[in-house]
């Protein structure tokens, strides 16, 4: 067992409250060491609730607001450990109630953050500033709200703090309580007059924060207290959009139960249903469709909900959308159909589903490319195989009369070339012209 240094023995005596050992050991220190050790011991004794030790140190001349090497004062240590008796002793001996560490934390901020109820009461009784902020702009009200310390909030609110103070990112105590899912804390703040619509730097309201972090009970409270359900943040997203974007069906259901606009898009034109598709959340998607979301809504690019689903490759979602009225041929602004998109992406299972549901297999783009042509161009072997198995025209060329086999060859997709040859694919197109969209053929061979 290692032998403790004299300084360490003194610290242990301070922690345990062994006054006799402390006095004996302190008497053997050099004067220049005594002051440093004394400051540390005052903090340790205060943290551990040793009244007699604290009194002895103060009588010995240790400054009541002196700091240990970590920047803590005895008052801060006593607050953190919830020692109201020690706090009172220190304050009666002249401790500065609002003294702050280098990071701006005061005794009240520490006690509020960690829910030290007795310490908070004692500090407030001695006129601790309820609006003092740390270096990151957190007030006692905010740190208590973040951690759901409702009893601490009640004490703080009785002192009439600035309810709507905002951090640099514009978050308020109510926003913070909502983000962290603390219903009672949020309720106390609202009932005390907190602004329910005051938004952060992104334009996010407390309701949006609750939607983002999946707190349906907080969302229900905010709505019951009058929160604007369809308010939009800077990017145009509503609380419902945010809930769907992050895959939270329970919050989405709560919002829909309170008549949230089911199709309200963000500024880029993405609807809540599209947002749920992008993250592949089938539960949110089904909920939105059940509540009347437009399954044929199109993004400004023309991409429909089904098109997006095909691009991602979520077969279950696509089957559900098709069974609820999604148009299988609804194309984007470039005339790409869902089948073309799925083929391009190589989602063979999606291609199979669409064909089984009646998608037009040889539909052509303005440049005459088909789904098969696109699959060949991008080397999507399984999609090519599926299209051929369902009767795709193997030699239907684009407007430059390049066949699927030829484009696969140009792109270096040898496995696709081999598959096409097995099914009669040609380098040269039998079609020599398109007249008013109608192909004309000549019987040449490769």
- The pLDDT of residue 40: 81
Cα 42 off chain centre by: 43
State mean pLDDT over 16-25: 56
**Rounded to whole angstroms, how far apart are CA atoms 385 and 347?**
11
**H-helix or E-strand spanning residue 89:** helix 84-92
**Rounded to whole angstroms, how far apart are CA atoms 412 and 280?**
33
Task: Determine the longest span between alpha carbons in the chain, in angstroms.
Answer: 113
> Tokens standing for 223?
């709505």
> Tokens standing for 182?
């603390």
Sign of the Cα pseudo-torsion (44, 50, 53, 54, in order) = positive
* pLDDT exceeds cutoff 90 at 34: no
- The pLDDT of residue 165: 97
List of residues 6+ apart from 338 with CB closer than 8 A: 304, 306, 307, 309, 310, 318, 328, 329, 330, 354, 359
Q: Are 374 and 364 in contact (CB under 8 A)?
A: no
Tens digit of each residue's pLDDT (9 = 90 or more) over 136-181: 999 999 999 999 999 999 999 999 999 999 999 999 999 999 999 9
Tens digit of each residue's pLDDT (9 = 90 or more) over 204-244: 999 999 999 999 999 999 999 999 999 999 999 999 999 99
- The pLDDT of residue 3: 46
3-state secondary structure string, 335-380?
Answer: CCCHHHHHHHHCCHHHHHHHHHCCCCCCCCCCCCCCHHHHHHHCCC
- The pLDDT of residue 61: 85
**Rounded to whole angstroms, how far apart are CA atoms 340 and 24?**
88
> Tokens standing for 142?
């905010």
* pLDDT exceeds cutoff 50 at 347: yes
- The pLDDT of residue 1: 44
**Rounded to whole angstroms, how far apart are CA atoms 54 and 75?**
11
3-state secondary structure string, 197-236?
Answer: CCCCCCCCCHHHHHHHCCCHHHHHHHHHCCCCCCCCCCCC
Taking residue 158's Cβ as centre, other Cβ atoms within 10 Å add up to 12
State mean pLDDT over 97-105: 96
**Rounded to whole angstroms, how far apart are CA atoms 165 and 301?**
42
* pLDDT exceeds cutoff 70 at 41: yes
Q: Rounded mean pLDDT of the chain?
A: 92
Q: Are 161 and 140 in contact (CB under 8 A)?
A: yes
- The pLDDT of residue 13: 58
List of residues 6+ apart from 16 with CB closer than 8 A: 48, 50
> Tokens standing for 312?
């991602």
DSSP label at 430? S
- The pLDDT of residue 229: 98
Tens digit of each residue's pLDDT (9 = 90 or more) over 175-207: 999 999 999 999 999 999 999 999 999 999 999
Cα Rg of the chain, angstroms: 35
- The pLDDT of residue 276: 98
Alpha carbons within 13 angstroms on the beta-carbon side of residue 53 total 29
State mean pLDDT over 24-48: 67
Q: Where are the alpha helices (DSSP H) in 357-395?
A: 371-377, 381-389
pLDDT classification of 297: cutoffs 50, 70, 90: very high
- The pLDDT of residue 168: 95
Set out the domains of the chain in order of their start, with CATH numbers.
1-95 (1.25.40.20), 108-163+171-191 (1.25.40.20), 204-294 (1.25.40.20), 295-314+327-360 (1.25.40.20), 365-446 (1.25.40.20)
């Amino acid at each position: 067992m290692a032998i403790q240094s004299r300084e360490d023995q003194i610290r242990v005596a301070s922690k345990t409250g062994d006054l006799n050992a402390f006095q004996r050991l302190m008497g053997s220190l050099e004067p220049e060491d005594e002051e440093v050790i004394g400051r540390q011991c005052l903090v340790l004794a205060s943290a551990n609730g040793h009244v007699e030790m604290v009194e002895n140190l103060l009588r010995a001349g240790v400054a009541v607001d002196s700091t240990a090497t970590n920047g803590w004062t005895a008052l801060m240590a006593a607050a953190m450990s919830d020692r109201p008796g020690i706090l009172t002793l220190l304050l009666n001996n002249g401790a500065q109630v609002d003294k702050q560490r280098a990071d701006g934390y005061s005794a009240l901020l520490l006690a509020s953050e960690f829910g030290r109820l007795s310490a908070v009461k004692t500090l407030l009784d001695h006129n601790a500033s309820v609006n003092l902020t740390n270096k990151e702009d957190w007030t006692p009200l905010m740190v208590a709200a973040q951690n759901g310390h409702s009893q601490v909030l009640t004490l703080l609110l009785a002192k009439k703090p600035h309810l709507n103070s905002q951090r640099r990112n514009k978050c308020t105590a109510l926003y913070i309580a909502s983000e962290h899912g603390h219903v009672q804390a949020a309720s106390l703040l609202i009932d005390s007059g907190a602004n329910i619509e005051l938004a952060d730097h992104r334009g996010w309201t407390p309701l949006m924060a609750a939607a983002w972090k999946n707190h349906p009970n907080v969302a229900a409270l905010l709505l019951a207290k009058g929160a604007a359900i369809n308010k939009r943040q800077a990017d145009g997203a509503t609380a419902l959009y945010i809930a769907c974007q992050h895959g939270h069906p329970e919050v989405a259901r709560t919002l829909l139960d309170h008549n949230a606009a089911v199709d309200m898009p963000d500024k880029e034109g993405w609807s809540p249903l599209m947002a749920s598709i992008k993250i592949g959340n089938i539960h949110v998607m089904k909920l939105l469709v059940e509540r009347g979301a437009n399954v044929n809504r199109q993004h400004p690019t023309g991409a429909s909900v089904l098109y997006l689903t095909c691009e991602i490759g979520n077969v279950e979602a696509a089957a559900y959308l098709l069974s609820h009225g999604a148009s299988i041929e609804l194309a984007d602004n470039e005339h790409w159909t869902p089948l073309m998109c799925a083929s391009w992406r190589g989602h063979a299972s999606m291609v199979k589903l669409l064909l089984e549901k009646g998608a037009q297999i040889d539909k052509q783009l303005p440049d005459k490319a088909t789904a098969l042509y696109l699959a060949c161009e991008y080397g999507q072997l399984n999609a090519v195989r599926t299209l051929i198995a369902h009767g795709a025209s193997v030699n239907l060329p684009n407007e430059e009369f390049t066949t699927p086999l030829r484009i696969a060859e140009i792109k270096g997709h040898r496995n696709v070339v081999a598959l096409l040859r097995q099914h009669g694919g040609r380098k040269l197109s039998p079609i020599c012209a398109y007249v008013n969209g109608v192909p004309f053929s000549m019987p040449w061979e490769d």
